[in-house]
């Protein structure tokens, strides 16, 4: 395969990203792998880091950055949304509560699919609604598996703690009661993308009088099942 496009800086950038695809690498290792000059590798790696196409691991080695998972999430969103409606409808019918699908949107989250409870008191979230990442079970799920820098940055303004997010990772779901909005309870679980990152959160929400202050007791299994179905859809369509 010809790795030379005729645009030198693009070819060199692609060589660096290709090297990082194999795993973390120090500057010296990138120089050795790409056969580029050390100043060139250093300059391009720092520029890529600025745009979050490259990041650092806990040892300081270069790794592929979070921007790739964000781009992958956008690519996968169309098939995710098309698969979401029947899954959310089943979840709504199984729990009797309105169901939603959220994805990260900058420092907020956005509802990209929603199925309402047909009658009675409900928590209705229209598609396109943006919400804070500082409160609510979906926010916890979307942050729990984030890289440490983004997670701790968000926790500065959050109504939950790092210990709460550790519990979310351990349990595989999150719940909230009166956290985002007084009188509303919710349960959420992660949707995993093909890159091994959490790209969305499946949720149910409704009045605390019906869901109680511990909504996961009755509904965590159903929400986890729905999230797993959507994760499976993404894995199947990747192959």
pLDDT of 78 = 65
pLDDT of 82 = 81
Query: What is the greatest pairwise CA distance in the chain?
Result: 67
pLDDT of 193 = 86
Q: Stretch 195-218: mean pLDDT, rounded?
A: 93
The b/e string for 1-40 (b: 16+ C-beta within 10 A; e otherwise) is eeeeeeeeeeebbebbbebbeeebbeeebbbebbebeeee
pLDDT of 102 = 95
**What pLDDT, in 10s, does the model give residues 55-64?**
898 888 999 8
Q: What is the DSSP letter of 60?
A: S
Report the distance separating Cα 70 and Cα 64, nearest Å: 12
What percent of the chain shows pLDDT beyond 70?
93
Residue 238 — pLDDT band, cuts 50, 70, 90? low
**Beta strand pairing status for 54-56 and 62-64?**
antiparallel
Distances (CA, A) of 194 to 112, 122, 238: 19, 33, 7
Report the distance separating Cα 123 and Cα 221, nearest Å: 20
Q: What is the DSSP letter of 172?
A: T
Pair 138, 100: CB distance under 8 Å = yes
How many Cβ atoms from other residues are within 10 Å of residue 85's Cβ? Answer: 14
Cα 205 to its chain centre, rounded Å, is 19
**What pLDDT, in 10s, does the model give residues 77-113?**
567 888 899 999 999 999 999 999 999 887 889 999 9
């Amino acid at each position: 395969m010809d790795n030379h496009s005729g645009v030198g800086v693009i070819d060199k950038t692609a060589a660096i990203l290709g090297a990082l695809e194999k795993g973390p690498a120090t500057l010296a290792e990138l120089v050795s792998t790409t056969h580029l000059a050390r100043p060139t590798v250093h300059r391009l790696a720092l520029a890529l880091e600025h745009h979050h196409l490259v990041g650092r691991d806990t040892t300081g080695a270069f790794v592929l950055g979070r921007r790739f998972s964000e781009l992958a999430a956008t690519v996968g969103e169309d098939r995710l949304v098309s698969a979401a409606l029947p899954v959310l409808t089943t979840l709504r019918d199984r729990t009797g509560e309105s169901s939603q699908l959220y994805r990260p949107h900058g420092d907020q989250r956005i509802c990209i699919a929603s199925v309402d409870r047909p009658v009675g008191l409900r928590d209705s979230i229209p598609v396109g609604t943006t919400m804070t990442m500082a409160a609510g079970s979906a926010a916890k799920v979307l942050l729990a598996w984030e890289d440490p820098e983004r997670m701790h940055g968000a926790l500065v303004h959050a109504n939950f703690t790092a210990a709460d997010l550790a519990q979310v990772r351990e349990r595989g779901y999150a719940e909230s009661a009166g956290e985002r909005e007084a009188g509303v309870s919710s349960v959420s679980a992660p949707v995993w993308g093909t890159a091994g990152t959490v790209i969305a959160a499946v949720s149910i929400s409704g009045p605390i009088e019906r869901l109680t202050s511990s909504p996961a007791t009755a509904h965590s299994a159903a929400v986890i099942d729905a999230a797993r179905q959507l994760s499976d859809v993404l894995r199947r369509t990747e192959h």
